[in-house]
Chains A and B, each alone.
Chain A
Amino acid sequence: MYSVRLFAVRHARFFESVYRLFERAVVGLVPVFETVGYQRLERPAAASERLIKGFLFDCRMCGQCVLSSTGMSCPMNCPKNLRNGPCGGVRDGGFCEVKPQMRCVWVEAWEGARRMRDGMDRIRVVQPPVDRSLEGSSAWLRVAREKAAERRAAQPTTSTEIGRSVIARVFARARLFDAAAAPIAREPESARRNQPEAGHTSVHAGSGEGRNRS
Chain B
Amino acid sequence: MSSLQTPEPYDPILHAPLMPPPGHHSASILERVLRKGWFAVTAELNPPDSADPRDVLKAAEPLKEVADAVNATDASGANCHMSSMGICSILSRAGLGIVLQISCRDRNRIAIQGDVLGAAAMGVGNVLCLTGDGVGVGDQPGAKPVFDLDSLSLLRTLRTMRNDATFMSGRTLSTPPRIFLGAAENPCIPPLEWRADRLEKKVRAGADFIQTNYIYDIPLFVEFMKRVRDMGLDERVFILAGVGPLPSAKTARWMRRNVPGIHIPEAIIDRLERAAKPAEEGKKLCIELIQQVREIAGVKGVHVMAYRREHLVYEIIKESGILQERLEIKAREGADTQLYTNTAPL
Contacts and interface: CB of A to CB of B under 8 A. Distances in A.
- Same assembly: yes
Nearest to A173: B204
A148 B72 CA distance: 48
Contacts of B205: 84, 126
A93 B134 contact: no
Contacts of B134: 79-80, 89, 97-98
A21 interface: no
Residue in B185, B194, B236 whose Cβ sees the most chain A Cβ within 10 Å = B194
B153 A83 contact: yes
B237 interface: yes
Chain A interface size, as a band, is 35 or more
Given A203-B237, A206-B25, A214 B145 contact: no
B317 interface: no
B136 interface: yes
B236 A126 contact: no
A26 interface: no
B169 to A, nearest CB: 5
Interface string A170-209: 1100000000000000000000000000011011111111
Nearest to B178: A211
A208 B23 contact: yes
Interface stretch (B3-11, B159-167, B278-286): B159-167
A128 B165 contact: no
Contact of B236 (A98, A107, A130, A202): A202
Given A166-B169, A211-B19, A213-B176, A129 B149 contact: yes
A84 B200 CA distance: 12
Interface stretch (B206-214, B303-311, B333-341): B206-214
A110 B109 CA distance: 26
A141 interface: no
Given A85-B150, A200-B159, A90 B191 contact: yes
A130 B272 CA distance: 46
Contacts of B176: 210, 213-214
Contact of B153 (A107, A129, A200, A208): A129
Interface in B78-116: 104-105, 109
A86 interface: yes
A107 B193 CA distance: 10
B62 interface: no
A93 B190 CA distance: 7
A124 B186 CA distance: 18
A74 interface: no
A93 B191 CA distance: 8
11 contacts: A83-B150, A98-B136, A124-B197, A126-B153, A126-B156, A166-B166, A203-B203, A204-B35, A205-B23, A208-B22, A214-B175
Interface of B: 19-20, 22-25, 35, 104-105, 109, 131-134, 136, 145, 147-153, 156-157, 159-160, 162-166, 168-170, 174-176, 178, 184-186, 189-191, 194, 197-198, 200-201, 203-208, 213, 235-237, 260-261
Interface of A: 79-94, 97-98, 104, 107, 110, 124, 126-130, 132, 162-163, 165-167, 170-171, 199-200, 202-211, 213-214
Given A98-B134, A124-B197, A205-B23, 20 more contacts: A84-B150, A84-B151, A85-B198, A88-B184, A88-B213, A90-B189, A97-B133, A110-B191, A124-B204, A129-B109, A129-B148, A129-B149, A129-B150, A129-B153, A167-B168, A170-B157, A171-B153, A203-B207, A203-B236, A203-B237
